[in-house]
Amino acid sequence: MRPYECSRCGGLLDIGDGVCPRCAAPLGFALPLDDVLVLDGPDGDGWVRCAEHPSLGCTWVIRPDDGPRCESCRLTRTVPGDDDPRDHAHLVVIEQAKRRLVVQLRRIGLPIVDRAADPEAGLAFDLLSTRFEPVTIGHADGVITIDLAESDDAHREMLRAQLDEPYRTVLGHLRHEVGHYFWGVLIARAGRHEGFRALFGDERASYQDALDRHYAVGAPVGWQERWVSAYATMHPWEDWAETFAHYLHIRDTLDTAGAFGMSLAGPDEGTAVGAVAPSGDVDDESFWSVARDWTALATALNAVNRSMGHADLYPFALTPPVIEKLAYVHDLVRGAT
Ligand SMILES: [Zn+2]
Ligand SMILES: [Zn+2]
Ligand SMILES: [Zn+2]
């Protein structure tokens, strides 16, 4: 996510900042303006804080008539009924990631319809605690279920290692699950089944059989040639959701790199990392050129991470069949804008 600028001191702001780290101005993010406003200055006129500011630390502002909750908090349909402190801490982390998701979707032209506006197909989030019952992360008919414990670093890292996944984050879960929601919007309700099946396979194959097979025998040998992750091999729906999540990862990270003016001129001309200037605005580009920029940037950032002893920033490889699927998502997103 690209940084914003404090209108009082000119300092750089993150979308999650509630107070300017440089001049201490109180801040609020206004989704319709895609901007962080100084609330006790002229640009804060006519904006009020989301009702979830005191409890969940929501940093968004709304017009008084649109309240009491902001466009992101409003999407949350269910939370644990009591105020257990651990659940509450997890909720804060998930809501923060959800706000990033909502901003990006709007920015790329895929605004979401909330459940209040469309009770059958609108989007809603159930953020549930395993203190009450086992929680399975997933999506069904516009409702995304997230296990609150996924925002606990130790718990999530344990699962990541157990499942042998190279990457597992709260934002990654949200991007994957919202991908299932957009399958309904961009494929099913738009009647694009044939085009989808040509690339991802036939989604009418039994999901339960696919699930059982995946957890019994794992991904097919050589899966890396055709799928972006092992999980994507399970069923065409999961391939789509994984591909969609990667599309959001790539666009957001390129957007950030572009905003900071990052460019790559080495180590050598003619290598994968030669002379690339990531552009934040990729709407007019074919995904093949986006993928070239991204591969170069990810190669460099992975090397930077390794220098710090961290795992790779982007532990995945984009092969031509994977890029073809990402290009399909790109074309649908551009068509929806
Ligand atoms: Zn400031
Ligand atoms: Zn809010
Ligand atoms: Zn899924």
Do residues 169 and 235 both lie within one domain? no
> Which residues, in sequence order, are CB contacts of 43 under 8 Å at separation 6+?
7, 35, 37
Return the pLDDT at 109: 93
Residue 204 domain flag: no
> pLDDT tier at 40 (50, 70, 90 boundaries)?
very high
Which residues are found with C-beta within 5 Å of the ion, ligand 3? 238, 241
94 CA to centre of ligand 2 in angstroms: 12
12 CA to centre of ligand 2 in angstroms: 22
Q: What angle (nearest 5°) sits at the alpha carbon of residue 283, between those of residues 60 and 138?
A: 55
Ligand located closest to 98 CA: 2
Return the pLDDT at 83: 83
Do residues 334 and 264 both lie within one domain? yes
- Residue 143 clears pLDDT 80, i.e. is over it: yes
Do residues 63 and 77 both lie within one domain? no
Ligand located closest to 51 CA: 2
Do residues 84 and 177 both lie within one domain? yes
Return the pLDDT at 277: 56
Does the pTM surpass 0.85? The reply is yes
What's the whole-number mean pLDDT along residues 257-281? 68
Partners of 272 in beta bridges? none
Burial of residue 143 (CB within 10 Å: 0-12, 13-18, 19+) is middle
> Which residues, in sequence order, are CB contacts of 139 under 8 Å at separation 6+?
145, 177, 178, 180, 181, 241
26 CA to centre of ligand 3 in angstroms: 38
d(CA 114, CA 208): 29
Q: What is the pLDDT of residues 234-248, one digit of tens each?
A: 999 999 999 999 999
Ligand located closest to 214 CA: 3
Point out the domain boundary residue: 69, 104, 119: 69
Percent of the chain exceeding pLDDT 90 equals 83
Return the pLDDT at 138: 96
Cβ(172)–Cβ(249) below 8 Å: yes
- Residue 272 clears pLDDT 70, i.e. is over it: no
What's the whole-number mean pLDDT along residues 28-43? 95
- Residue 280 clears pLDDT 70, i.e. is over it: no
Q: What is the pLDDT of residues 179-190, one digit of tens each?
A: 999 999 999 999
Do residues 82 and 14 both lie within one domain? no
Partners of 145 in beta bridges? 126, 138
- Residue 270 clears pLDDT 60, i.e. is over it: no
Point out the domain boundary residue: 69, 87, 114: 69
Residue 179 domain flag: yes
Choose between 120 and 205: higher pLDDT: 205
245 CA to centre of ligand 2 in angstroms: 23
10 CA to centre of ligand 1 in angstroms: 6
Choose between 106 and 275: higher pLDDT: 106
Residue 208 domain flag: no
Percent of the chain exceeding pLDDT 70 equals 96
Residue 137 domain flag: yes
- Measured from the Cβ of residue 199, the count of other Cβ atoms closer than 10 Å reads 16
- Residue 269 clears pLDDT 80, i.e. is over it: no
Do residues 113 and 82 both lie within one domain? yes
Pick from 312, 289, 184: nearest CA to 240: 184
What's the whole-number mean pLDDT along residues 298-303? 93
**Three-class SS of 207-269:** HHHHHHHHHHHCCCCCHHHCCCCCHHHCCHHHHHHHHHHHHHHHHHHHHHHHHCCCCECCCCC
176 CA to centre of ligand 2 in angstroms: 22
Pick from 147, 303, 301, 179: nearest CA to 248: 179
Residue 212 domain flag: no
Do residues 225 and 336 both lie within one domain? yes
Q: What's the whole-number average pLDDT of the chain?
A: 93
Q: What angle (nearest 5°) sits at the alpha carbon of residue 15, between those of residues 14 and 19?
A: 70
Which residues are found with C-beta within 5 Å of the ion, ligand 1? 6, 8-9, 11, 20, 22-23, 25
Tokens linked to 211? 């699930």
Return the pLDDT at 248: 98
261 CA to centre of ligand 2 in angstroms: 31
Do residues 90 and 182 both lie within one domain? yes
Return the pLDDT at 127: 97
Coil, strand or helix: which one is 77?
strand
Q: What is the pLDDT of residues 200-229, one digit of tens each?
A: 999 999 999 999 999 999 999 999 999 999
Residue 121 domain flag: yes
Point out the domain boundary residue: 171, 191, 211: 191
259 CA to centre of ligand 3 in angstroms: 31
> pLDDT tier at 80 (50, 70, 90 boundaries)?
very high
Residue 206 domain flag: no
Residue 200 domain flag: no
Length of the chain: 337
69 CA to centre of ligand 2 in angstroms: 5
Ligand located closest to 23 CA: 1
137 CA to centre of ligand 2 in angstroms: 22
Count of structural domains, the chain = 3
Return the pLDDT at 172: 98
54 CA to centre of ligand 2 in angstroms: 10
- Residue 20 clears pLDDT 70, i.e. is over it: yes
67 CA to centre of ligand 1 in angstroms: 26
What is the amino acid identity at position 174? L
Q: What is the pLDDT of residues 84-108, one digit of tens each?
A: 999 999 999 999 999 999 999 999 9
Cβ(292)–Cβ(326) below 8 Å: no
Domain that holds residue 255: 220-337
Do residues 149 and 87 both lie within one domain? yes
d(CA 28, CA 37): 5
Cβ(5)–Cβ(37) below 8 Å: no
Ligand located closest to 48 CA: 2
Return the pLDDT at 264: 83
Do residues 318 and 268 both lie within one domain? yes
Pick from 174, 146, 133: nearest CA to 78: 146
Do residues 254 and 161 both lie within one domain? no
Do residues 228 and 181 both lie within one domain? no
- Residue 258 clears pLDDT 90, i.e. is over it: no
Tokens linked to 291? 């993928």
Partners of 147 in beta bridges? 128
> pLDDT tier at 279 (50, 70, 90 boundaries)?
low
Which residues are found with C-beta within 5 Å of the ion, ligand 2? 50, 52, 58, 60, 70, 73
